Amino acid sequence: MKLNIFNTADEVLTALADHFIKVGSESIAARGKFTVALSGGSSPKKLYELLASTSYADQLDWEKVYFFFGDERNVPQDHKDSNYLMAKKALFDPLMISPVNVFAVDTTFEPAEAAAKYWEMISAFFDEDELSFDLVLLGLGDNSHTASLFPHTPVLHDTTPGVKEVWLEDQQVWRITLNAPLINEARYIAFLVYGEGKAIAVHHILEDAEDIEEYPAQLIDSIAGETAWFLDEAAAADLEDRE
Ligand SMILES: O=C1O[C@H](COP(=O)(O)O)[C@@H](O)[C@H](O)[C@H]1O
C-alpha cells in the first residue's frame, strides 16, 4: 500500500491526474488499451475536469481508453445523482470520447438484472484477456464505504469477482457495484480522498483493527498490483503512521 499525502486538495488532484496518465500510457504501450473503472460521488469531478483540461487532454490516446464504473446509483442516466452523468459532463463530453469506449450500467433494468448484465458486459469485454482493470479509481464515504460497498450489506461477503446490487435501507435506494474481489484484481487501485470530513474514515480504514462490516473499504487490497492512497493533509489528519 502506498500513501501519498499532499498539503492541498489541488496538489492531490494533480498527483492523481499524473498517476492516471502514467498508468494509462503504460497500459496502452503494454496491451494496446487502458481499462479504467471510474468512481462517482462529488470528489472525482474535479479530477475528471482536470484530465479534460488543456494540461492533460493531449497526454493520452483517449481512443484507446475504455471507461467502466466502479458503482452506480439506480437512477436514469440523465438523473442528477447518476455517476455516469457526472463523468459524461466532466470528462467524456469535453474530450469527445466515443460512446463505444464507455461502458455504463444500464439502469433501465431492475437492480439485480442491471448488475448481472453489467457483469456480462465486463466479462464479454475482457473475453480471452485476463479479467482485471488497469486502474480502479475509488473514493471513500464518511461512513467508510467505497464504490457501493456499504456497511452491513451482503456484498461484503462475496468471495469471487462480480457485480452486485446493493439495497441501502437508510436511504431506501438501490445501487450497483463492483464487488471487492473484482476490484482487487486491478493492476492499480487509487483512492482519492480529500477534506477534513474524511479524516475519521481514513483512520478507520488504514489504522483500525479489521472490521469489514463497519469499515468496508478495508476489503480493498490489490492482489497482485498496487493500492495507492492520494490524500490531502486534512483527510490524513487522524493518521498516526504516515509511512
Ligand atoms: O456514493 C458514493 O460515494 C463515494 C464517496 O463519494 P464522495 O461524494 O464522498 O466523494 C464514491 O466513491 C462512490 O463512487 C459514490 O457512488
Q: Is the CB of 141 under 6 A from ligand 1?
A: yes
Cα(38) to centroid of ligand 1, in Å? Answer: 11
Euclidean distance between CA atoms 176 and 163, whole angstroms = 7
Residues in the chain, total: 243
ipTM of the complex: 0.93
Domain with 64, as residue range(s), is 2-214
**Whether 121 contacts 127, CB under 8 Å:** no
Q: Is 202 a domain residue?
A: yes
pLDDT tens digit sequence for 124-150: 999 988 999 999 999 999 999 999 999
Q: Is 177 a domain residue?
A: yes
Grid cell 498539503 is found at 7
Q: Is 171 a domain residue?
A: yes
Q: Is 243 a domain residue?
A: no
pLDDT at 38 (0 to 100): 98
Q: Report the nearest-CA residue for atom 14 of ligand 1.
A: 40
| Averaged pLDDT, 45-67 | 98
Q: Is 208 a domain residue?
A: yes
Cα(128) to centroid of ligand 1, in Å? Answer: 32
The string of DSSP codes covering 190-239 is: EEEE-SGGGHHHHHHHHHSPP-TTT-GGGG---SSSEEEEEEETTTTTT-
Provide the 10 A C-beta neighbour count for residue 108.
10
Q: Is 15 a domain residue?
A: yes
pLDDT at 128 (0 to 100): 84
Share of the chain above pLDDT 70, in %: 100
The pick from 145, 176, 220 for probing ligand 1's pocket by mutation, whose C-beta has the most ligand atoms within 8 angstroms, reads 145
Q: Which atom of ligand 1 is nearest to the CA of 44?
A: 10
Q: Is the pLDDT of residue 166 over 80?
A: yes
H or E, element range at 68: strand 65-69
**Whether 133 contacts 36, CB under 8 Å:** yes
Total domains in the chain come to: 1
The pick from 12, 71, 194, 200 for probing ligand 1's pocket by mutation, whose C-beta has the most ligand atoms within 8 angstroms, reads 71
For residue 58, give the CATH number of its domain: 3.40.50.1360
Q: Is 234 a domain residue?
A: no
Alpha helices by DSSP H, listed for the chain, are: 9-31, 44-51, 83-87, 93-95, 111-126, 180-183, 199-207
pLDDT tens digit sequence for 81-107: 999 999 999 999 999 999 999 999 999
Q: Is 239 a domain residue?
A: no
Q: Is the pLDDT of residue 243 over 80?
A: no
